[in-house]
Amino acid sequence: MKNSRTALRGRRLAFGCWAIALSGVAACAPVNIAPLGVAPADVTSVDAAPDVVAVDVPAPIDAGPDVVAVDVPAPLDAGVDVPAPIDVRVDVPAPIDVGVDVPAPIDVGVTCAPGLGLCGSACVSTMTDLAHCGGCGRACAPAHATAMCAAGACQVVRCDAGYVDCDGEAANGCEAAPASDPRNCGGCGIACGGAATCVAGACVCGGVMCSGRCADLATDRANCGACGYACPTGVACASSRCGAMACAPGLTECGGRCVDASTDEAHCGACGRVCGAGTTCVRGACGVTPWLQQYGGTGDDAVNALARDPAGNLIAGGSFSSSITLGGATLTGAGRGWIAKLSPDGAVRWSAALGGAVWSVASDAAGNVYAVGSFSGTTTIGGRMLGSAGSTDWFAASYTPDGALRWAVRHGGTGSDSAQRVSTDAAGRVWVAGYYSNTTVFDGRSLPSLGGNDMFVAQLGAADGSPQNVVTFGSAAYDYMGGLAAEPSDGATVLIGFGTRLLVGTTEIMGTAVAGAILRFGPDLSLRWNTVLRGASNVNVSDLARDASGNLYAAGEFAAGPLRVGTGSFGGSYYNGFVVSVDAAGAFRWGAEAVGNVGTTGHEGVDALSVGPDGTLFAIGNTDSTTFSIGGRSVPTAGGRANWLAAFNASGAATAARFYATGLSIYEQTLSAGASDVVLGGKMVGSGVIEGMAVARTQAGDGFLSRSPR
């Protein structure tokens, strides 16, 4: 703006009417100012006063006030001493046509360079400017923090000394002071109970300790005036004395009883409003009570799989390397797996150890539980000894709804065999999908691979685990299983990753260097149809889900796009995640892309899918980008590795998206969507925040489960 101001000063010397133009008069005739004592050509009279010159000036086009005062500096070439400034008074007559060319108004506008916008009088980038972050006047100045404006979003870079960001919200900056905050004393989420205060990061009781709790005897209803002296229900404690029989502030009288309608499940938000089973009253509304459970021993532990039974209970499975404690029961053994049944509120109903890692779990309509995985050597499942024929074999086991073992079986050959997915149908079949190398054996049938790892889909009898049927397929490369979804009674669908040429029986399927495919098998394991997922480079698949209408959903990531799914295509950036839907016949419906930094720096993936009872599709994944969006829905991020949760409607629109974990790495991500909640699981490494709660691993890695409202 320095050059602009210099130009304006030059224009003031050229036009004697400069102040008139700035004061609102649209235009004026030029005025020539001569040295004092020399009459200019257009001056009609000069007042005798030495400091006033009267000048008749033609009327401006748009006349303003009758009299305008103009400060005019002395001419540079004046022959006499002239005091400055000279007060010139101009009598402006009524508008007349004087036939004088009027100069155009002086242009004082500012043109900003490309990529910049005008905020006030300054050209700024609203994508990076802290004073105008995302728009003029939107200051990025969170409290107690150093901030940055990235892509028009305000982000906290680091907190000031003595402050931390506990809620992850950039708007309120680093809101907690662990040295003095009683809600976050010494760390996020550490609350001082009762009347305790936070001093130097430690909870200090400023009142009296009553049964291990800090109490203010002046106001504590449970300890009013003395420890253990409780006021009647609904009666407040004031000045160490119980008050009159009336509901205390914040309580409501319902049926002759004072209740807190914000938390009372029988009077949630209003008298008589009862919350249903599995829900609690939170802020006056019936909903889900969030919880987080961490499972860890002295070694490497993980949650690998989640499912639900018809009653809404959770079925979880995973692995541990030394010992793991689940609901008060400690399971031990080296390199083993585990399975557990939990109530919706997270209480462990039963748990059991298995001989190898559990990779997938399922339930049938009767509530029976199924688990599959792999093991090496000799193992015992529920007292039944199993021995592997090769490097590793695969196993399947079933439990009653109460946790009693129904049956356990193993299958495998001379190489490495692993069961990766399990699903059940209404016809009494258990479907198992996985991979094998060299040669596998199923029900006495020897089945060689085409090279590398090949895949299998097997049928077991739900009642006893007896072998029913099997189909194998693969390519010359290392193939892998991404997902399995059984139809109610008409077969099953699998999602696989394979090399350039896949052979399923006599059907040849062509892909790219690494591609994905959705394969539908009938009840007799004949191939019904296939849909290939191809990209400009590698396509990696991770999970498959099915809704009640028979639509299928596949997830994964692709190195370069566009991603072609049958006759449809979408996307096109470096290592982006994807969610794609096909109908019951394999035809493309829609696709959504998880997008991070453009170029070769960001890496996004979609790891797991789950369809809720209402048909809402939920997806979880990860990103290490500084910007992120899923299905076109942007999610603010401060950068670094983070894990996200997103929801999609039947048309493929992302209806919600958020980060559920930051500051740590999560592997083997899995999830299960219920009618009102979403439960997430996996293996966490490092320390960070999951669903707003601080966590820290104990050894190499811990398993976790977290429940949150949908």
Higher per-residue pLDDT: 697 or 179: 179
What is the b/e burial string over 43-58, where b = at least 16 CB atoms within 10 angstroms of the residue's CB?
beeeeeeeeebebebb
Check: CB of residue 670 under 8 Å from CB of residue 362. no
Q: Count CB atoms within 10 A of the CB of residue 461.
A: 14
| Per-residue pLDDT band at 285 (split at 50, 70, 90) | confident
- The token pair that represents 658 in the structure block: 């958020």
What's the rounded mean pLDDT across residues 243-264?
Answer: 78
Contacts of 430 (CB under 8 A, 6+ apart): 362, 370, 396, 398, 422, 423, 424, 459, 460, 461, 462, 465
In the chain, what is the greatest distance between 2 CA atoms, to the nearest angstrom?
128
- Kind of pairing, strands 369-375 and 393-399? antiparallel
Write out pLDDT tens, residues 43-58: 333 343 344 334 343 4
Q: Which long-range contacts (CB under 8 A, 24 or more apart) does 120-127 make?
A: 121/1, 122/1, 126/152, 127/151, 127/152
* CA count, 13 A, side-chain hemisphere, 485: 22
How far is it, in rounded angstroms, from Cα 392 to Cα 416? 5
Residues forming a β-bridge with 687 = 696
| Per-residue pLDDT band at 221 (split at 50, 70, 90) | confident
What's the rounded mean pLDDT across residues 302-312?
Answer: 96
How far is it, in rounded angstroms, from Cα 274 to Cα 268? 6
151 sits in the region (left: phi over 0; alpha: psi -120 to 50; else beta) called left
Check: CB of residue 469 under 8 Å from CB of residue 524. yes
- The token pair that represents 350 in the structure block: 């039963």
Confidence check: pLDDT of 11 > 90: no
How far is it, in rounded angstroms, from Cα 243 to Cα 470? 76
Give the pLDDT score at 246.
67
Higher per-residue pLDDT: 644 or 218: 644
Among the residue ranges 22-26, 531-535, 657-661, the one predicted with the least confidence is 22-26
Contacts of 565 (CB under 8 A, 6+ apart): 531, 532, 533, 580, 582, 588, 591
Give the pLDDT score at 27.
39
| Per-residue pLDDT band at 511 (split at 50, 70, 90) | low
Write out pLDDT tens, residues 558-602: 887 788 898 888 877 678 899 999 999 999 999 999 888 755 566
How far is it, in rounded angstroms, from Cα 527 to Cα 680? 33
Residue 601 Cα to chain centre, angstroms: 20
With tokens 């200090």, the residue in question is 204
Check: CB of residue 151 under 8 Å from CB of residue 127. yes
Give the pLDDT score at 75.
41
| Per-residue pLDDT band at 418 (split at 50, 70, 90) | very high
Please provide the average confidence, as pLDDT, over all residues in the chain: 81
DSSP class of 474: B
Sign of CA dihedral 685, 682, 387, 340: positive
Is omega for the bond preceding 562 within 30 degrees of 0, making it cis?
A: yes
Kindly state the helix (H) or strand (E) to which residue 519 belongs, with its residue range: strand 515-521
With tokens 């009898």, the residue in question is 461
How far is it, in rounded angstroms, from Cα 646 to Cα 664? 19
Q: What is the CA radius of gyration of the chain?
A: 38
Confidence check: pLDDT of 84 > 50: no
Q: Provide the whole-model pTM.
A: 0.64
Q: Count CB atoms within 10 A of the CB of residue 89.
A: 13
Give the pLDDT score at 458.
98
- The token pair that represents 62 in the structure block: 């748009």
Helices (DSSP H) in 563-618: which residue ranges? Answer: none
Higher per-residue pLDDT: 574 or 174: 174
Give the pLDDT score at 560.
78
Give the pLDDT score at 39.
38
Please report, to the nearest 10 degrees, the dihedral formed by the alpha carbons of residues 653, 659, 661, 665 taken in order.
70
Check: CB of residue 312 under 8 Å from CB of residue 367. no
Give the pLDDT score at 184.
93
Sign of CA dihedral 272, 276, 280, 286: negative
Mapping DSSP to helix (H, G, I), strand (E, B) and coil, where does residue 264 land?
Answer: coil
**Amino acid making up residue 120:** G
Mapping DSSP to helix (H, G, I), strand (E, B) and coil, where does residue 629 land?
Answer: strand
Is omega for the bond preceding 85 within 30 degrees of 0, making it cis?
A: yes
| Percent of all residues in the chain with a pLDDT value above 90, rounded to a whole number | 45
DSSP class of 62: S
What's the 3-state SS for 7-35?
Answer: HHHHHHHHCCCHHHHHCCCCCCCCCCCCC
Residues forming a β-bridge with 633 = 630
- Kind of pairing, strands 629-630 and 588-595? antiparallel
Check: CB of residue 200 under 8 Å from CB of residue 226. no
In angstroms, the first-to-last Cα distance of the chain is: 52
